[in-house]
Structure 1
Amino acid sequence: MKLKAYLPILDWGSRYNGQTLTSDLVAAIIVTIMLIPQSLAYALLAGLPPEVGLYASVLPLVAYAIFGTSTSLAVGPVAVVSLMTATAVGRLAAEGTADYASAAIVLAALSGLILLAMGVFRLGFIANFLSHPVISGFITASGIIIALSQVGGLIGIKTEGHALPDLVMSIVENAGRINWYTVAVGAVALALLLWIRLDLKNWLARFGVPQGIAKIIVRAGPVLVVFLTMAWSVLMDLGGKGVALVGQVPQGLPMLSLPSFSMGTVEALLVPALIISIVGFVESISVAQTLAAKRRERIEPNQELIGLGTANLAAAVGGGYPVTGGFARSVVNFDAGAATPAAGAFTAIGIAAATLLLTPFLAILPKATLAATIVLAVLTLVDFSILRKAWAYSKADFAAVAITLGGTLLLGVETGIALGVGASILLFLYRSSRPHAAIVGRVPGTEHYRNVKRHKVETQPGVLSIRIDESLYFANARYLEDFVAEQAAMRPALTDVVLMCSAVNAIDMSALESLEAIQHRLSDMGVRLHLSEVKGPVMDRLEGTEFLAHLSGRVYLSQHQAVQEIGRGTPPAPGTPAAEMQMAPAGVVSTASS
């Protein structure tokens, strides 16, 4: 049973049958057709030879099929990770050199080891530090940078840089070298790909083509564009007219080998590998869980880390570069009916066959076609509506989106996401350092207590009821201390303060010391301090502390009980054991305020 948890293939493999085999084979054929041009294009985006994209789509799929938990996730090169690879490796070696390709392999290996370690030690929670606004801003900015980086390929000039200023400057500087034949190829390829995506399905429906077949044709559309532009290249001798072609591509699969590590390379790539690992995991787990929910399946995040880790190690062994689960290919895999992770393994076989048989023909493929494929793919990543939504909902979240978006565009992907994470953590600390605390009173005719500023409520003379709406820890403890002191000083007739703790899930040592300070300050003013609705785990921590031993008031089961007993003049009985303090008298109903 424990072995199945680490090798999910033993679980779904034991139930494999002819029906699932058919479903997986059909899905694999469709995804293979889609992946061939996409893998070639993403390798060029990463600054690598196009065949490397095919290499990165073979062994990683097999590894994920063994260790992954999603039936639909398709692992391989994706746009954002390809851009991040180019950014990281470009600092170490010149594009097109052997050192560049070797560094990309080391990057995949490091990413695999990091993901694998995170999975073994169950550190999937680290990805939670990338909030949704940060991820949205990062992906939108990355989409813009990727699309802009392909402008050179579409118009026949060389562009450099991985941030907006550098890319714009290189486009402006080389604008006089535009190759109009390349512009024609790029424009036609872009128009055809756009038409295939938006209207081909409707066009086929008008001719009576069944919906299932039409869907397959649409998925295969990019391959058709590849063949059309290859034919154009031969008929018009586009290479002789200055159009950049893919060129000679080695036929066959690379020899399996372990990457050679050097300390200098590892040190330079360790942080980028960590960022790629976390970003890739967040993207992958989001896609996997979205698709799993549609089938009521369960995804195990920590096992997904192991699956992605082994996939990246397999990419390194097979001469590829970092991979993760891609949204577009996974949706296609899901829609095509993939029933188990075996669909990915069958896709790997299809990609391997294409690598063995089709690579000799790729020499005549215009690079502008691949650039058009990338542009159309990444435009779906750009979503400026997140800015409007964040502004309307939370200015703090808007700040996180804006900082990530601006930082990524202007300074690059690694700096941008680091700024976004840093901004999110700072905003969280700022907000949590000022916990919401409300003065509450009883809603007439009920036992419910609500904010006096929002509801018409009844309050007890001499009693101040304060509801604390967050856990208490070192960053916000002093704020509560000052708030209680300020409110108590404003009420000369005050005799009792009740801290309503229904929303407090934890109290750390610093907060405990602040509660003791509140107790001492109120005692000096002749005011008793009480607690109400303290949760069990919090009470367990408080029991036996000096704070409870010297508490001037009591700990009540409910806020209503506290106010009623204090109003009747019930003696506070300081020093009462915690077990007795938590017991409500007969007839008292516990209530929880919100």
Structure 2
Amino acid sequence: MRKIFPILHRLRSYKRKDLPKDIIGGLTVGIVLIPQAMAYAMIAGLPPVYGLYASLMPLLVYAFMGTSRSLAIGPVAMDSLLVAIGLGTLAIVGLENYIALAILLAFMVGAIQFVLGIFRMGYLVTFLAKPVISGFTSAAAMIIIFSQLKHLLGVDMEGSNQFHRIFLNAIETIPETNFYDFIIGLAGIFLLIGFKKWNRHIPAILIIVVLGILAVYFFKMEALGIKIVGTIPKGLPGFVLPAFSMDTMMQLWPIALTLALIGYLEAISIGKGIEEKNEEDQINANQELVALGSANMLGSFFQSYPVTASFSRSAIDDESGSKSTLSGIFTVILVIVTLIFLTPLFYYLPKAILASIIMVSVFGLIDLAYAKRLWTYRKDEFIVLLFTFLLTLFIGITQGILTGVLLSLLLMVYRTSKPHFAVLAKIKDSEYYKNISRFGDEVILRDDLLIVRFDSQLYFGNSDYFKNQLYKYMSQKGDNLKGVILNAEAINYIDSTATRMLTKVIKKIRQDGVQFYIAGAIGPTRDIIFRSGISDVLPREFLFVKIKEAVAHFDNPENASATHKKVAYQRNKKSN
């Protein structure tokens, strides 16, 4: 049970003195969450109250099943935008149908995450490389920011998932700007930035929400055309099964898969960051998938749309000193109190204030510093980031992510197809064998011996490259060459295609009167050598632990040590 519900393990060592810290942390997060949740629901195209609904059951489930004490689950800007874009591609008639599909999407996202967690497939998220994520999040942040211009300007503006369309629509509606909405929104932005620079511990979001409500109420600004949140339904969400439809689910599955992976990546990245910082948490990646999946699935039964971890709220929870996931339960209690008693207080909340919260919150997702570093040091990865950014910005988020993943995989294949191939030689007055291109005159070059190192696994994609490079350097030695030593320390796998190639190469080299040696092969590689055809053409006495032993054997074949035989010949008994 403790594996399924990690909270049981924490409660066994829970101390009474930690309870006030959890209460303070939970309530602090709740104060930020309530206006944020309503704002993010607007991004998703949902009524603000659905942001509060998404802040109940998912948080409660994660409190019992999550492995991070400070991970704050709930609505976030990125997932909200993906919901809006995914549902925006469907022909949906009426707000009720739109809401029903958003809830169904939450169930599908949760189901995918849950299944991935059960089958321990959290590693799939590693295919979302950092340049892809950075390009995607930067572009999505810009789309989110500009999508909020309609609330900042107080105008009706057609939405889109393409930046240029949003920008052009905003330009067209500038003459219709409501001056009061614009002033309130700008004031909210400046206050949030100012409070953040002055003292990050000040509840800036709560302050501007209160000021916005008071300004509209006391100065009767609703009569000036300011757009407000209006009536928010009181009471808790009821238990309602999502509207399952096979046809609809087939249409939604691509965006559900994207949301499942992106949401998990956000959660595990934030959780790992907190773990490294406080050195107290022990994040279990697969349990996090199960917890997040359960939170989304069960949340959908109580009218929640897809949720994941929030960076800003998680940081607040961690800084507040929360000691366990109980803090999430206290956040839920505050949301419940708000839904039952306090929703009338938000009637006069200007939508421009919510827009300012969103704009400031997501601006930090635009990571120019990382792009600059890639441009300086890794231009190939910068290209992946740039393509992902541009496609996400101008074509679509889903297309941007998929293209970015494809480009990063192609880059990986390209790198492994032509990995580093080094010629080694002994450094003078030492036992070290290093790359001759790096050490130049400091190495001792021999015409009768070629030592090479291949810095990758050997597989079908680079086997021809290995063979061609080896023959090239052998031909440079000419007729004086009597021995070749392959330093295999970096070769952790040899597939069947490479095995066949290596067998033919070794056989040909030995037939030409040149000895072939392998040095430094790790255990799994030796197992492959022994159970494949390689051992048929390369006797065991030509396997060595270190390069210097192979060189010594080349110079004096009678000098093989007992240790060399014991270690170099060792093999996994299962490979017999």
**With structure 1 as the length reference, what TM-score do the two structures score?**
0.91
| Structure 1 range deviating more: 509-518 or 115-124 | 509-518
CA distance in 1, matches of 2:124, 2:523: 28
C-alpha contact (below 8 Å) 2:229/2:347 kept by paired residues: yes
The Cα of 1:581 is off from its aligned counterpart by 8.7
Aligned with residue 78 of structure 1, among 76, 80, 99? 76
Q: Which amino acid aligns with 1:541?
A: I
Aligned to 2:220: 237
SS at match of 2:423: strand
* One-letter amino acid matched to 1:154: L
Amino acid at match of 1:72: S
Native 8 Å contact 1:485 1:518 kept in 2: no
User: How far apart in 2 are the matches of 1:312 and 1:343?
Assistant: 19
CA distance 1:502–1:379, change in 2 (3 Å) = same
Q: Is residue 391 of structure 1 aligned with residue 379 of structure 2?
A: no
Contact 1:111 1:309 in 2 (8 A): yes
1:48·1:96 contact (CA, 8 Å) conserved in 2?
A: no
Alignment partner, residue 557 of structure 1: 545
3-state SS of paired residue (1:438): strand
Secondary structure, aligned partner of 2:231? coil
The alignment status of 1:428 with 2:416, answered yes or no, reads no
User: Residue 109 of structure 1: CA displacement?
Assistant: 0.5
Letter in 1 for 2:76: V
Q: 1:356 to 1:581 in 2, by over 3 A?
A: closer
- Which region of structure 1 is more displaced relative to structure 2, 192-201 or 62-71? 192-201
Match of 1:127 in 2: 125
Of 520, 523, 540, the residue aligned with 1:533 is: 520
1:535-556 superposed Cα distances (whole Å, 9 cap, x missing partner) = 1111112114322112278212
Q: Show the counterpart of 2:556.
A: 568
In structure 1, the partner of 2:489 is: 502
Partner deviation per Cα, 1:158-185 (whole Å, 9 max, x = no partner): 1411121121121122222212121122
1:511 matched to 2:503: no
**Counterpart among 36, 39, 45 of residue 37 in structure 2:** 39
- The correspondence for 1:26, drawn from 7, 12, 24, is 24
How far off its partner does 1:36 sit? 1.1
Q: What is the rounded CA distance, in whole Å, between the counterparts of 2:307 and 2:415 in structure 1?
A: 36
Partner Cα distance (2:8, 2:34) in 1: 30
Deviation, 1:225, is: 1.7
Partners of 1:67 and 1:569 lie apart in 2 by 62
1:49–1:96: 8 Å Cα contact kept in structure 2?
A: no
Distance 1:95 1:22 in 2: 48
Q: 1:242 to 1:432 in 2, by over 3 A?
A: same
Aligned to 2:358: 374
- Is the contact made by 1:93 and 1:99 (CA closer than 8 Å) also made in structure 2? no
One-letter code aligned to 1:470? S
Given the alignment of the two structures, is residue 405 of structure 1 paired with residue 389 of structure 2, yes or no?
Answer: yes
The residue aligned with 2:311 is 327
CA distance in 2, matches of 1:146, 1:125: 29
Q: For 1:76 and 1:163, how far apart are their aligned partners in 2?
A: 26
Q: How many residues align?
A: 561
Alignment match, 1:521: 508
Q: Is the 8 A contact 1:47 1:95 kept in 2?
A: no
Out of 467, 476, 483, the residue aligned to residue 490 of structure 1 is 476
1:467-478 equivalences under 5 Å are 467-478=453-464
List runs of 5+ in structure 1 lacking aligned partners: 202-214, 573-577, 585-594
For 1:126 and 1:156, locate their aligned partners in 2 and report how far apart those are by CA, in whole Å. Answer: 42
- Residues 520, 581 of structure 1: alpha-carbon distance in 2 compared, 3 angstrom cutoff: farther
Deviations 1:335-389 (A, max 9, x none): 1111100100110111111111122232322111100110111111111111110
> What residue identity is the alignment partner of 2:170?
I
Greater mean deviation of Cα atoms: 184-193 or 108-117: 184-193
Distance 1:120 1:583 in 2: 40
Is residue 101 of structure 1 aligned with residue 99 of structure 2?
A: yes
Q: 1:283 maps to what in 2?
A: 266
Give 1:509 deviation, angstroms. 1.1
| Cα contact 2:229–2:346 (8 A) shared by 1 | yes
Unaligned runs of 5+ in 2: 571-576
Residue of structure 2 equivalent to 1:149: 147
Quote the offset at 1:238 in angstroms: 3.0
**Deviation larger for 9-18 or 426-435:** 9-18
Q: How far off is 1:11 after superposition?
A: 0.4
| CA distance 1:79–1:96, change in 2 (3 Å) | farther
CA distance in 2, matches of 1:433, 1:381: 34
8 Å CA contact 2:552, 2:559 repeated in 1: no
Specify whether residues 196 and 96 from structure 1 end up closer, same or farther in structure 2 by C-alpha distance, changes over 3 A only: farther
* Equivalence for 2:443: 457
Q: 2: distance between equivalents of 1:380 and 1:48?
A: 24
Q: Report the AA paired with residue 161 of structure 2.
A: H
Conserved 8 A contact 1:93-1:100? no
TM-score of the pair, normalised by structure 2: 0.93
Higher mean C-alpha displacement, 141-150 vs 40-49: 141-150
* Structure 1 segments of 4+ aligned residues over 6 angstroms from their partners: 578-581
Query: How far 1:111 moved relative to its partner?
Result: 0.8
SS at match of 1:560: helix
Could you tell me how far 1:464 is from its partner in structure 2? 0.9
Change (3 A) 1:470 1:145: same
Is the aligned partner of 1:582 residue 2:568? yes
Partner of 2:49: 51
Q: CA deviation at 1:457?
A: 1.0
Deviations 1:236-263 (A, max 9, x none): 4333332222122211111112212111
